[in-house]
């Protein structure tokens, strides 16, 4: 990437029908998805028929609801979560009905100063069209200046992939340099393969994830790089 991220992560989201209670660190260690030690040291927030949430060291976090499974990781290599999901739903739970997939990239990076972040914000969301009210956004000291808080762009016109969209969100980061010079970007690469009631098993989603994960990460990096290169 053009600027080395301060924080860099990825997430995979599956839509379908799940039994949250079976997703536990002990279940994952039983099938050699994680080590026994990792299972013993996992931080469990809740295990319930409606929701399971736990964190395995610094490796990944899992959140499973009856209609949604998500796993995220913030240390390299990010492809670890792709391998885990493919093993879980390709080998262990292949009959799980899945109908949607999200491959997401999240990055926090530092542009050096509040003034530089504000300049980039003005490029992406000019204040002039807002008239007198817009001019007031830039008045006052650093703690009182306004401007871009969240901007989302969506692309839907694809001819070489299943239906879905790529959505990019950009916001000020509160996790970089005390929240004054950081930018947060999130790129969501979403696929919808069938209506929920038509989903039969996990095979199509698992095949798509395995074939698309690396390309999706690279495409997200290209989008993020475009914004990083706005830094003067």
Mind listing the pLDDT tens digit for each residue in 92-151? Answer: 999 999 999 999 999 999 999 999 999 999 999 999 999 999 888 877 677 778 889 999
Q: Three-state DSSP class for 86?
A: helix
pLDDT in tens, 10-21: 999 999 999 999
**Torsion region of 65: left, alpha or beta (phi above 0 gives left; psi -120 to 50 gives alpha):** beta
Angle at 119 between CA 117 and CA 121, to 5 degrees: 70
Q: How far apart are CA 117 and CA 110, in angstroms?
A: 9
30-53 average pLDDT score: 96
Query: What is the pLDDT at residue 165?
Result: 95
Share of the chain above pLDDT 90, in %: 82
Span 189-196, average pLDDT: 88
* Contact (Cβ atoms closer than 8 angstroms) between residue 182 and residue 111: yes
- pLDDT score, position 55: 97
Q: 155 is written with which tokens?
A: 């692309």
Q: What are phi and psi of 161, to 5 degrees?
A: -155, 165
pTM over the 0.85 mark:
yes
Q: What is the DSSP letter of 91?
A: I
Of residues 83, 71, 60, the one with CA closest to residue 14: 71
pLDDT at 140 (0 to 100): 67
Determine the pLDDT at residue 161: 82
Confidence of residue 187 (pLDDT cuts 50, 70, 90): very high
Domain limits of the chain?
7-18+67-228
């Amino acid at each position: 990437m053009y600027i080395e991220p301060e924080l860099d992560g990825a997430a995979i989201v599956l839509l379908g029908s799940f039994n949250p209670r079976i997703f536990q660190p002990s279940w994952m260690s039983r099938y050699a998805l994680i080590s026994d030690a990792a299972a013993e040291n996992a931080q469990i927030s809740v295990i319930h028929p409606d929701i399971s949430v736990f964190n395995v060291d610094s490796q990944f976090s899992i959140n499973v609801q009856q209609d949604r499974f998500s796993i995220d990781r913030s240390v390299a290599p990010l492809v670890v979560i792709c391998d885990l999901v493919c093993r879980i739903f390709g080998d262990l739970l292949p009959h799980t009905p899945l109908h949607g997939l999200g491959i997401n990239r999240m990055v926090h990076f530092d542009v050096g100063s509040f003034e530089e972040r504000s300049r980039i914000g003005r490029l992406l969301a000019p204040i002039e069209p807002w008239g007198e009210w817009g001019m007031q956004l830039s008045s006052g000291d650093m703690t009182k200046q306004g401007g871009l808080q969240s901007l989302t762009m969506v692309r839907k016109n694809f001819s070489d992939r299943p239906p879905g969209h790529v959505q990019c969100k950009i916001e000020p980061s509160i996790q970089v340099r005390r929240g004054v010079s950081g930018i947060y970007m999130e790129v969501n690469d979403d696929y919808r393969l069938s209506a929920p009631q038509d989903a039969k098993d996990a095979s199509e989603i698992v095949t798509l994830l395995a074939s698309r994960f690396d390309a999706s990460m690279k495409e997200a990096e290209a989008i993020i790089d475009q914004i990083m290169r706005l830094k003067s």
